[in-house]
Amino acid sequence: MQREEKQLEASLDALLNQVADLKNSLGSFIYKLENEYDRLTWPSVLDSFALLSGQLNTLNKVLKHEKTPLFRNQVIIPLVLSPDRDEDLMRQTEGRVPVFSHEVVPDHLRTKPDPEVEEQEKQLTTDAARIGADVAQKQIQSLNKMCSNLLEKISKEERESESGGLRPNKQTFNPADTNALVAAVAFGKGLSNWRPSGSSGPGQPGQPGTGTILAGASGLQQVQMAGAPSQQQPMLSGVQMAQASQPGKMPSGIKTNIKSASMHPYQR
């Protein structure tokens, strides 16, 4: 019993917060529409709508949450109605409801829709029942088809404009370059292989011969491999080397360097 009460309280609090957020965003949207209507842009209006829709979504989620008890089972009964001002109520409703009287209660504690709305809804249901099941089905199918056609047209238009306009501007970074640069900073890939490790390179077993040749080759050889124009020979070849060399061949370059230099007294 107590747990349910606690749950009820917690879920009411969450609901209150959500509704307060929603109210605030609605308020700011209305303010924006009323006061800045000459400067308002469509994307800004879309932003406000998106915000509202997101908040409604979270509200729905809160209501659907498993820990929320069924509010349908709870009943609110007004116990005391008085035409006097109630300061407490004023404070809680931020000055909107000053009096808890018999005018206010029907509007605030209403659970059924307005009588006019109820009439319209009843008429709609009788209309729907009147036309018969298969006619209704046909109408549903044609609506679905029209919606999907429209969606297709919009997405095709979007794709075409994107591929035409954005693609030339889109490439602001090159992932292959990212990898090459990170490898260079992390362990010197493409940096140290300029030094002629070929002095001890060809003699080293273990790695395939092409590996050490790649690692220890001079710049000219690399250039012939890359076939780049003369101005950019060294740079392009460096990048080609970093990108084209397979993993496992680079470390051989580093190791041969160390081996040749490791005859140091302190090492022993």
Residues found near another protein in the complex (CB under 8 A): 170-175, 177-192, 194-195, 234-235, 238-239, 242, 247-248, 250-251, 254, 257-258, 261-262, 264, 266-267
Backbone angles phi, psi at 20, to 5 degrees: -65, -45
Rounded to 5°, the CA angle 3-5-6 comes to: 65
Residue with smaller CB distance to another protein, 14 or 226: 226
Q: Give the list of residues 6+ apart from residue 40 with CB closer than 8 angstroms, or none.
A: 32, 33
Residue with smaller CB distance to another protein, 18 or 212: 212
CB of 234 to another protein, least distance (A): 5
Q: Give the list of residues 6+ apart from residue 62 with CB closer than 8 angstroms, or none.
A: 11, 14, 15, 18, 68
Is residue 4 packed enough to be buried (19+ CB in 10 Å), middle (13-18) or exposed (0-12)?
exposed
Residue with smaller CB distance to another protein, 95 or 175: 175
CB of 2 to another protein, least distance (A): 36
| Cβ-contact 63, 15 below 8 angstroms | yes
Residues present in the chain in total: 268
Residue with smaller CB distance to another protein, 180 or 217: 180
CB of 89 to another protein, least distance (A): 42
CB of 31 to another protein, least distance (A): 27
Q: Give the list of residues 6+ apart from residue 239 with CB closer than 8 angstroms, or none.
A: 177, 180, 190
Residue with smaller CB distance to another protein, 145 or 195: 195
CB of 55 to another protein, least distance (A): 21
